[in-house]
Amino acid sequence: MPEGHTLHRLARDLNGLFGGEIIRATSPQARFAEGAALLDGRVLAKADAYGKHLFVTFDADRHLHVHLGLYGTFVLDAGEPSVPRGQVRLRIEGERGYADLRGATTCEVLTRVERVGVVARLGPDPLRRGADASRAYERISASRTTIAALLMRQDVIAGVGNVYRAELLFRHGVDPFLPGRELPSATWYDLWKDLRALMRHGVRTGRIDTTRTAHTPRAMGRPPRQDRHGGDVYVYRRAGDPCYVCGTAVATAVLEARNLFWCPTCQRSRATAAE
C-alpha cells in the first residue's frame, strides 16, 4: 500500500530491526542476485525515506534504492527466517529477524552521488523535517494544470498518492479541477499542514485514515468506520455512494490515467470564494 507514509514507516522499522548490524542479503528469486551480493555481509547503517523512495545505507558507499511501485511490498518479520514464499526479490536477514522485498518497480544499489541525484528530482516531502512547502507552492501557483494532477507529481510534492490526493482535496472542499495558479496561498498552506498530520498518522498506524484524525474539520462529522482499503476514507473508491457530509453521490473520473474521486457538492470551487 505504498504512498509516502508506507515508506517512512518501513524505514523506521528497518532501522529498528537491522540498524547497525551486519546483515545477510540474498535474492531467492535470482532477479537481483548481483545487487544482493553487493550488500551481503555489510553493515546496514540507516534506512531513510524521501517521498515514495526508500534508501538503505550500507558501508562502502552502497545505497539500496527501493521503489515499491503499485504493488511492491517489503515485509519485516521478527524471528527465524522462513522458507521464502512467492517471488522474493531480496531477503535481508539479521540477528533478530528478516525482511522480504517483493514486486518492487525499482530495486538497485547506488552510490551516494547517484542517490543524491534521485532525491534532487523530488519536491518537498511533508513527512521530512524542514520540508519547504513554499517550494511546492512556487510550482503550483505557476501552473495551469489542475491541483489534482499537481498533487500526484513527485517533483512538485513527494509522497502523495491517489488516496491522500482525493482525501485531502475533499477535506478542504477544493475542486480537484481547479488550476494550480488559482489555488490561494492560504489554502495551499492549510492543505500542507493537514497533509502532514494525515501522513504522520499514516506512519504511526500503517493505514490511511482521513475521517477520524484530530484535524478532521468539525463540520464533517464522524462517518462510520469502513476500513475498505486499509483505512477509513471519505471519497476514495466510493464512486456512486453517498457523500458522508452531504449525501451527494461521490463522483469519479480518470485524470492522467489515475482514478480520481470527489464530491461534486462539497468540492465546488470554494477555494476561490475569496475573489
Partner DNA sequence: GGCTTATGCGCAG
Partner DNA sequence: TGCGCCTAAGCCA
The C-alpha atoms of residue 200 and residue 219 are separated, in whole angstroms, by 22
Question: Is the CB of 42 or the CB of 167 nearer to DNA?
Answer: 167
Q: φ, ψ for residue 6 (rounded to 5)?
A: -60, -40
Strand, helix or coil for residue 56: strand
Is 193 marked active-site?
no
Q: Which residues ranging from 19 to 48 are in contact with DNA (CB under 7 A)? A: 29, 31
The C-alpha atoms of residue 157 and residue 174 are separated, in whole angstroms, by 17
**Catalytic pick among 2, 28, 124, 126:** 2
Q: Decide if residue 105 touches DNA (CB under 7 A).
A: yes
When binding is defined by CB under 7 A, the residue of 10, 152, 220, 245 that contacts DNA is 152
- Terminal CA-CA length for the chain: 39
Is 46 marked active-site?
no
* Residue 5 CB, nearest approach to DNA (Å): 8
**Catalytic pick among 12, 46, 258, 270:** 258
Q: Decide if residue 123 touches DNA (CB under 7 A).
A: no
Q: Decide if residue 189 touches DNA (CB under 7 A).
A: no
Contact status, residue 99 vs residue 54, Cβ threshold 8 Å: no
The CA-atom distances, in angstroms, between 84 and each of 41, 98, 100, 136, 181 are 19, 11, 8, 42, 50
Q: Decide if residue 84 touches DNA (CB under 7 A).
A: no
**Closest-CA residue to 261 (of 176, 204, 144, 150):** 176
Helix 185-205 and helix 162-171: axis angle, to 10°?
Answer: 130
Stretch that binds DNA, among 57-65, 90-98, 102-110, 128-136 (CB under 7 A): 102-110
Is 138 marked active-site?
no
Cβ partners under 8 Å of residue 181, min gap 6: 140, 141, 142, 143, 144
Contact status, residue 222 vs residue 212, Cβ threshold 8 Å: yes
* Residue 54 CB, nearest approach to DNA (Å): 11
Buried b (16+ CB within 10 A) or exposed e, 150-181: bbbbbebbbbbbbbbbbbbbbbbbbbbbbbbe
11: its cell numbers: 524505514
Stretch that binds DNA, among 40-48, 174-182, 214-222, 224-232 (CB under 7 A): 224-232
**Catalytic pick among 3, 93, 167, 182:** 3
* Residue 77 CB, nearest approach to DNA (Å): 14
When binding is defined by CB under 7 A, the residue of 111, 134, 185, 259 that contacts DNA is 259
Is 93 marked active-site?
no
Question: Is the CB of 33 or the CB of 246 nearer to DNA?
Answer: 33
When binding is defined by CB under 7 A, the residue of 35, 123, 161, 180 that contacts DNA is 161
Q: Decide if residue 70 touches DNA (CB under 7 A).
A: yes
Q: Decide if residue 83 touches DNA (CB under 7 A).
A: no
Site size with DNA, rule: CB under 7 A: 33
**Chain residues that interact with DNA, rule: CB under 7 A:** 1-3, 6, 29, 31, 51-52, 67, 69-71, 73, 86-87, 89, 102-103, 105, 152, 154, 161-163, 208, 229-231, 237, 256-259
Q: Enumerate the active-site residues.
A: 2-3, 52, 258
